[in-house]
């Protein structure tokens, strides 16, 4: 009997796995098979699947209020905004539904600040090769990867792409049209490439010199994943704007753009909006998530377990010529290999471990922040076992 034709647009290269249940660090498919989850829904379920503390907050909220137009106030938004600003260098928050929307808001805020507050009319934003900022027309144009732009011409103007970590070249990309520089502290989709401290400091210097806004995309690296609540805190900098999504609400659609006090004058009533941004339900999930991360010191836990995971990988993969380098910070880790890893990822899945790639040659590990050392030992054993089959091939023997 023929398989039924899906009514979905075929926009995803889906793995041949149908997931039906999640519990903590485990997922289960429709056959009952158990998987150790080292994807966390692409850095989303950082408290694990169906965390009880979030569930309880949601159940309580469902009995009170589901939706409230942003033409009215509700206490959850104010409470969440206070939580985020009190634990960061930001002064104000705009809530939305996704990372792309948060980055779109950041782009609009940077342009409007230079147009309406400073009065320069500057509008160009410098981003970097191999970056990823979203799938809207503006954010995919900001992205420094051509593959996401195929078929979408003409793209909006206003974005310039510079080489990542190139201190010498950067100032040459600044013109009298430049209003901001936008970067990821770790290029997650680009292969787990970390911004070098000297490069970040040069960006800060140039922003001050040329009166540019510094935008940091923390959509994947924020909320404790790198060992700090926000990845830019490793560098001792204070961005003018930074963006969050993914892990902010434990799987409920939620994004946020945070900014400095001076930027409030640019976002006035009617200048930007989101019907579903910061709903009572989404903010309830986010409050529980953020409070738990802070109370349980999950960023610090991510730093400790990330060091342990990298150490175990280096030990288990030592001498394997197929493995070029292991890199990352906290619990965002990439294993760069000598060839495309799609078949390796599929083989790892068959062994009961869910991982994903970051570009063609990098295996990306994004476990929840509640994993244990036993979970890590199990995952490393599976990865090392699969990659062991490449030893002789990679060395040319």
Please answer whether residues 101 and 255 qualify as being in contact, where contact means their C-beta atoms are separated by less than 8 angstroms: yes
- Cα–Cα distances in Å, from 135 out to 28, 145, 174, 331? 29, 12, 25, 25
Integer Rg of the chain from CA: 21
Quick check: helix, strand or coil at residue 124? strand
Q: What is the pLDDT of residues 43-94, one digit of tens each?
A: 999 999 999 999 999 999 999 999 999 999 999 999 999 999 999 999 999 9
Residue 284 has pLDDT above 80, yes or no: yes
Look at residue 391 in the predicted model and tell me its pLDDT: 57
Q: What is the pLDDT of residues 244-264, one digit of tens each?
A: 999 999 999 999 999 999 999
What CATH number labels 52-295?
A: 3.40.640.10
Can you tell me which residue has the tokens 């901001």?
180
Q: Delimit the domains of the chain by residue range.
A: 19-50+297-395, 52-295
Cα(43)–Cα(220) distance, integer angstroms: 6
Can you tell me which residue has the tokens 């503390």?
53
Confidence of residue 389 (pLDDT cuts 50, 70, 90): confident
Residue 87, number of CB atoms within 10 A of its CB: 14
The per-residue b/e assignment along 60-84, b for 16 or more CB within 10 angstroms, e otherwise, is ebeeeeeebeeeeebebbebbbebb
Please answer whether residues 156 and 190 qualify as being in contact, where contact means their C-beta atoms are separated by less than 8 angstroms: no
Residue 339 has pLDDT above 90, yes or no: yes
Confidence of residue 322 (pLDDT cuts 50, 70, 90): very high
Model's pTM, two decimal places? 0.95
Q: Is 17 left (phi over 0), alpha (psi -120 to 50) or beta?
A: beta
Cα(145)–Cα(137) distance, integer angstroms: 13
Summary mean pLDDT of the chain: 96
CATH label, 19-50+297-395, candidates 3.90.1150.10, 3.90.180.10, 3.40.50.300, 3.30.460.80? 3.90.1150.10
* Nearest-10 crossing angle of helices 298-317, 373-387: 30
């Amino acid at each position: 009997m023929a398989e039924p034709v899906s009514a979905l647009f075929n926009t995803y290269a889906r793995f041949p796995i149908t997931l039906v249940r999640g519990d903590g660090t485990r997922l289960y498919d429709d056959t009952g098979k158990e998987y150790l989850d080292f994807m966390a829904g692409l850095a989303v379920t950082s408290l694990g699947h169906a965390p009880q503390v979030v569930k309880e907050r949601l159940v309580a909220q469902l009995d009170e209020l589901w939706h409230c137009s942003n033409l009215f106030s509700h206490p959850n938004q104010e409470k969440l905004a206070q939580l985020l600003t009190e634990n960061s260098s930001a002064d104000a928050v705009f809530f939305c539904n996704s990372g792309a929307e948060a980055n779109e808001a950041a782009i609009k805020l940077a342009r409007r600040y230079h147009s309406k507050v400073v009065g320069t009319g500057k509008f160009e934003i410098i981003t970097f090769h191999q970056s990823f900022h979203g799938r809207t027309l503006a954010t995919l144009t900001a992205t420094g990867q051509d593959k996401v732009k195929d078929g979408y011409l003409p793209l909006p103007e206003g974005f310039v792409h510079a080489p990542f970590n190139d201190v010498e070249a950067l100032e040459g990309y600044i013109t009298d049209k430049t209003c901001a520089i936008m970067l990821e502290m770790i290029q997650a989709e680009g292969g787990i490439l970390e911004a070098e401290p000297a490069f970040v400091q040069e960006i800060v210097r140039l922003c001050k010199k040329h009166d540019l806004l510094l935008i940091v995309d923390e959509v994947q690296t924020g909320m404790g994943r790198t060992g700090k609540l926000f990845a830019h805190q490793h560098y001792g900098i204070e961005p003018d704007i930074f963006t969050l999504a993914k892990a902010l609400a434990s799987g409920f659609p939620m994004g946020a753009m945070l900014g400095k006090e001076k930027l409030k004058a640019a976002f006035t009533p009617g200048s930007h909006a989101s019907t579903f941004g910061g709903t009572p339900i989404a903010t309830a999930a986010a409050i529980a998530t953020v409070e738990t991360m802070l109370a349980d010191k999950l960023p610090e836990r991510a730093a400790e377990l990330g060091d342990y995971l990298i150490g175990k990988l280096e030990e288990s993969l030592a001498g394997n010529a197929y493995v070029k380098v292991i890199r990352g910070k906290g619990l965002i880790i990439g294993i760069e290999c000598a060839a495309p890893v799609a078949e390796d990822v599929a083989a790892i899945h068959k062994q009961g471990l869910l991982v994903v790639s970051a570009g063609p040659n990098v295996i990306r590990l994004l476990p929840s922040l509640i994993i244990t050392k036993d979970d890590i030992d199990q995952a490393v054993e599976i990865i090392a076992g699969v990659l062991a089959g490449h030893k002789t091939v990679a060395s040319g023997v």
